[in-house]
Amino acid sequence: SQKIEQNSEALNIQEGKTATLTCNYTNYSPAYLQWYRQDPGRGPVFLLLIRENEKEKRKERLKVTFDTTLKQSLFHITASQPADSATYLCALDIGQAGTALIFGKGTTLSVSS
Amino acid sequence: ETGVTQSPTHLIKTRGQQVTLRCSSQSGHNTVSWYQQALGQGPQFIFQYYREEENGRGNFPPRFSGLQFPNYSSELNVNALELDDSALYLCASSYQGPNEQYFGPGTRLTVT
């Protein structure tokens, strides 16, 4: 069956450390993968999109990697801050050019000062 | 630039009733997607509309239907409501293609 797994439901780290979140999938062959942030009671907010032919993408303190052989994406937040505390969602684009995003359950990150 | 808006914010319905949720897309976007998010879960894809036509559908029964209007706003209709339909319903607008989606704040539906 097709699955998307985000490594853990909750991740607790100290301010200033690097947070690493994992997204693994099976039986999909996505051409694109996206990461979103969701705060309680709000809609997801887009962070990064990476294509299957890109190994790595960066945006400020964020970095995402995409390994289509391992069927895995890693999402890193460097120099984490308490304001980074939120749920982070991995989404596979499995439709024909953006017609369907399939989300994982998310990982809730808590950054303590 | 106006963001994605949804109405109503909260809604309580009785099992068996019908509900209509509304979404206004971000200015310039021609595609709208609808998602259902149960508590503690990620959003689940319901369907997507592009130029007023359904352009993809997830694993939801036909009692979930939608419309997209010429101004790219959209409606999600759910008939014969069931208790399991209680969730946060999110709409997201985008340009057609593999682009980021801009989500609204959602409509919290409770079915009793």
Summarize pLDDT for A37-94 with one digit per residue, the tens: 999 999 999 999 999 899 899 999 999 999 999 999 999 999 999 999 999 999 998 7
d(CA A43, CA A38): 6
Distances (CA, A) of B75 to A17, A91, B22: 43, 23, 5
pLDDT at B106: 97
How far is the C-alpha of A96 from the C-alpha of B67, rounded, in Å? 20
A104 has pLDDT over 90: yes
Q: What is the pLDDT of residue A24?
A: 95
pLDDT confidence band for A7 (50 / 70 / 90): confident
A95 CB within 8 Å of a chain B CB = yes
Chain B nearest-CA distance from A14, in A, is: 24
Q: How confident is the model at residue A96 (pLDDT cuts 50, 70, 90)?
A: low
A97 pLDDT more than 80: no
pLDDT 10s digits, B40-87: 999 999 999 998 999 889 999 999 999 999 988 999 999 999 999 999
| Banded pLDDT at B1 (limits 50, 70, 90) | low
Q: Which residue of A has its CA nearest to B48?
A: A99
CA distance B17 to chain A (A): 25
Q: Closest CB to B100: pick one of A46, A99, A104.
A: A46
User: Which of chain B's residues have a Cβ under 8 Å away from the Cβ of A106?
Assistant: 42
- Most confidently modeled of A5-9, A27-31, A54-58? A54-58
Give the best residue of A23, A32, A51, A101 to mutate against chain B (max B CB count within 10 A).
A101
Instruction: Considering only the beta carbons, identify the residue of B97, B102, B106 that sits closest to A97.
Output: B97
B16's CB contacts (< 8 A; 6+ apart) are B80, B81
**CB-CB contact of B89 with B64 (8 Å):** no
